[in-house]
Chain A
Amino acid sequence: MKIIKSKDVTFEYIKRDENGEVEGINKALDNINLDVKEGEFISILGANGSGKSTFAKHINSILMPTEGTLWVDGMDTSDEDKILDIRMTAGMVFQNPDNQIIGQVIEEDVAFGPENMGVETAQIRERVDEALKTVGMLDYKKNSPNKLSGGQKQRVSIAGVLAMHPKCIVLDEPTAMLDPAGRKEVIRALRALNDVEKITIILITHYMEETIYSDRIFVMNKGKIAMEGTPREIFTRVEELEEFRLEIPQITRLAYELRKEGMRIPECVLTIKELCDALSR
């Protein structure tokens, strides 16, 4: 079952100068074709301005393609009548943790989605507790969001989406504003969601090390999909990745350099353990 199917999706917007005159047309997305199967963990990598966030907004029907079609669980995202259903199916988490928490108490924030959907009170309670438990924030449910760390805030945001019982969660650079500890927290929570709850994850990021565990990676550049494959397939193409202004994790880089020096090392090394294994042979 394809949860997301994108066919020739193009998004153009008109660029205007100071006087409102048309300066040109920008193609933020250029013929995007991709499929995501239910239960997959997908990463979309790309530098700023590569179009990855624009694509994310399409999945949630915040933007609609100017050409081509995008289906979420079989629903056309351009279909105005289906907007709420699409948003319930594909939830979205944004970059800035402060600007997406609506409630002044954590449980009230997590309840916001189900409240909008018209879920009954008793069930909201259940969903809120369950969602907070899944991301490990149940103990904080009566707290104010202002006192939390960045990683905790993002986990609350994820819970807020979870409580809507989506099939798929799209995360638009959820870790860009976090410190390393917070980043780890969020990625760990996402992997658990994917493993245990079987929720489809689409992670948009520019940190390559966060994508090691995904099933497939799409690399975007200038509105196009420039590369596609498993992490192992992608990470071997060091020079291309650098061209796209991405940064190769140090371990992969080290293995790559050693290989260039003529050492016998497998083509792609993702973890320290793999490097140890390769070198102790």
Chain B
Amino acid sequence: MNTEATLGQYYQTDSVIHRLDPRVKLVGTLLYMISLFIFNNIFCYAIAAVFLIVVIILCRVPLTHMLKGLRPILILMLFTVIFNIFFTPGEYLWQFGILHISKEGIKTAILILIRLTLLIISASIMTLTTTPNRLTDGLEKLFAPLKLIKVPVHEMAMMMSIALRFIPILMEETDKILKAQTARGAGFDSKKLTTRIKSLIPVIVPLFISAFRRASDLALAMEARCYHGGEGRTKLYPLKYAARDILSYVFMGIYIISLTAVGIINAKISLVNAIADIVSK
């Protein structure tokens, strides 16, 4: 009942970021993520961080709430950082067997830590400020051109949105079935893998049956409400670009240009430094 994973769960409030067209947020997040991978030096990260901080302030989701969402990924981040610190070759500061700490290791670890944090926060801002329905609407609209090559874009978006609606219901159901079978003496903590998999059958079979039953009920209910595919459908909230959306695209452009500029300058400086190094030798 109390599975409070804040990562990606919509946070209800009113902000300019919330009101943005989901397409802007999808494109923006994607561009931002790509930019983090292309320009991986500390100066570019500084710009990226500033950009993100502005967005965080604008979206009015409490920072504590956002950070709580990071918790589940903390272990993964820690692991990556430790791995990089100990296994990156370079100028050794400390060594023990195959373990060593190098200057380069520390540098990469820090860069990776920053990159991961930025990546995860940016992705979670998108889901925190966009209802899953708007998100699927956005995806449907963005991928609409694919309909020309017979990709069932509308159906896929509909499936996604229904799946999202039923996840909490099926989670609750799983919990109930687990408890009921536990009460019938079922054990789910056997050490042997085969026994353990077998012990899941009494949970998985009813869960599947329930999911199928719900699906057929839902299909009936949708039909009864005149659902007949995406053709001729109108929307309560049709996606239309407003001035703020255009403006956001402009800001995004500025961000990418400035990042590229800094990236190029940085590359040049390091090149000059490298040449100077060689010359002085």
Contacts and interface: CB of A to CB of B under 8 A. Distances in A.
A113 B225 contact: yes
A94 B221 contact: yes
A146 B164 CA distance: 12
A274 B10 CA distance: 54
A91 to B, nearest CB: 7
Contacts of B238: 121
B165 A99 contact: no
B232 interface: yes
A107 B237 CA distance: 11
A102 B218 contact: yes
Given A104-B132, A108-B133, A124-B236, A96 B217 contact: yes
Majority SS at the chain B contact face: helix
B226 A88 contact: yes
B222 A102 contact: yes
Contacts, number: 93
B91 interface: no
A125 B238 CA distance: 11
B161 A104 contact: yes
A117 B236 contact: no
Contacts of A146: 168-169
B161, B222, B226, most chain A CB atoms within 10 A: B226
Interface of A: 60, 62, 84, 87-88, 91-92, 94, 96, 98-105, 107-108, 111-121, 124-125, 128, 142, 146, 160-161, 164
15 contacts: A87-B225, A88-B226, A92-B224, A94-B217, A94-B220, A99-B221, A104-B132, A105-B133, A107-B236, A111-B235, A116-B226, A121-B238, A125-B236, A146-B168, A164-B226
Contacts of A161: 225
Interface string B207-225: 0000001100110111111
B12 A62 contact: no
B207 to A, nearest CB: 15
